[in-house]
Structure 1
Amino acid sequence: MRILSGSPFEEEFAYARAVVDGDHVYVSGTTGFDYATMTISEDVADQAAQCLRNIAAVLAEAGASLADVVRVRYLLPDPADFAACGPALREAFGDVRPAATMLVCGLLDERMRIEIEVDARRRG
C-alpha cells in the first residue's frame, strides 16, 4: 500500500509519502511544510515539530504511530541546527528510543532546515 499526503513534491518527483509492506512502514523524508497551506516556518525547531506532525499523520493512516518507529534519519544542511530540534525529538521519541542517524546534506529548498525519514513496525 502506498500513502500520499497531498504534497506537490510527491507528484512532481514521483514518490509516495509512505509505503506499507506487511507490518513495516517506510516513511519518505518529510520536511516541515504544512502541506495544507504549503507554508513553512523559518524556525528549525518549528520545522522539526511540523515534520513530526506530518509523519505522525501518515503513520496513523498506515495503522501505526510514532511509538512504532524503529529507525529515524535526520537530514540537516547545518549541523548547528540539530540542538534546537531536541525538545521536539524528545517529545516524539523520548520513550521510543529508535535507532537514529543525523546526516549533514543539502536539501531541495533553501527554506528547509530539517528533513526526517522514519521506518516503523506496526505492532498487533
Structure 2
Amino acid sequence: MIRQRISSGSSFEEKIAYSRAVVHGDWVFVAGTTGFDYSSMTIADDICTQTDQCLKNICAALAQAGASLADVVRVNYVVPDAGEFELCWPVLRQYFGEIRPAAMMISAGLADPRMRIEIEVTAIKQSAKQVANPVS
C-alpha cells in the first residue's frame, strides 16, 4: 500500500517532523489539530472558536485525503482545562451530531498555553465501509 502524507502548510509540521494526516489504504489518520488558522498562524482566545477552527482544519485534511467527516470513526479530544470541555459541546454536535464516532476526552497540557483544545480523528473512507444496522 502506498502511504500518502497530507500537509496543512502549518510551520509546526516542518519544525516537529509530522504530517497533518497520513492516508494508508482506506484509512485516514489526522494528527492532533489545534485551533490555529494556518493561513495567518493566529488562534482565537475561546474554546468554542478554537473547536470550530480545529474542525475546519480537520475537514480540509480529510478532503485532501478523499474523505469527509462522515468517514470519521474515532475522535480524541485533549483539553487542558476539563471544566471547559462542556462549553464546546454545541460545536461538536454541529459537526458530529449525525456521525457519532467513538470518542474520548483527555485533560492534559498542550504545547502552547493559548491552545484550549486539540482534536485527533481516524477515518475510513466510505468506499471501504460496510453498512451495518445501528444498535440502540
Residue 112 of structure 1 deviates from its aligned partner by 0.2
Paired with 1:92 and 1:66, the residues of 2 have a C-alpha distance of 8
Q: Report how many residues are paired.
A: 124
Q: Which residue, out of 72, 75, 85, partners 2:75?
A: 72
- Unaligned regions of 5+ residues in structure 2, if any? 128-136
TM-score, reference length from structure 2: 0.90
Matched, 1:118 2:121: yes
Residue 87 of structure 1, CA deviation: 1.0
- Relative to the length of structure 1, the TM-score reads 0.99
Q: In structure 2, how many angstroms separate the alpha carbons of the residues matched to 1:80 and 1:56?
A: 26
CA distance in 2, matches of 1:122, 1:5: 20
CA offsets 1:53-72 (integer angstroms, 9 cap, x no match): 00000000100001110000
SS at match of 1:15: coil
Q: Secondary structure at the match of 1:97?
A: coil
Partner of 2:24: 21
TM-fit CA distance, 1:123: 1.1
| Residue 83 of structure 1: aligned partner | 86
Q: 1:52-71 maps to which residues of 2 (within 5 A)?
A: 52-71=55-74
- RMSD of aligned Cα (Å): 0.4
- Which runs of 4 or more aligned residues in structure 1 lie more than 6 Å from their structure 2 counterparts after TM superposition? none
Could you list the per-position Cα deviations for residues 79-110 of structure 1 after superposition, in whole angstroms to 9, with x for gaps in the alignment?
01101111110011100010000001010000
Q: Which amino acid aligns with 2:21?
A: A
Give the Å deviation of 1:51. Answer: 0.2
Which amino acid counterpart does residue 116 of structure 2 have in structure 1? R
Task: Tell me the secondary structure at the aligned position of residue 58 of structure 1.
Answer: helix
2:99 corresponds to which of 82, 96, 99: 96
Task: Specify the structure having the higher radius of gyration (Cα).
Answer: 2
> Is 1:45 paired with 2:45?
no
Mapped pair 1:4 → 2:7: yes
Identity between Structure 1 and Structure 2 (%) = 61
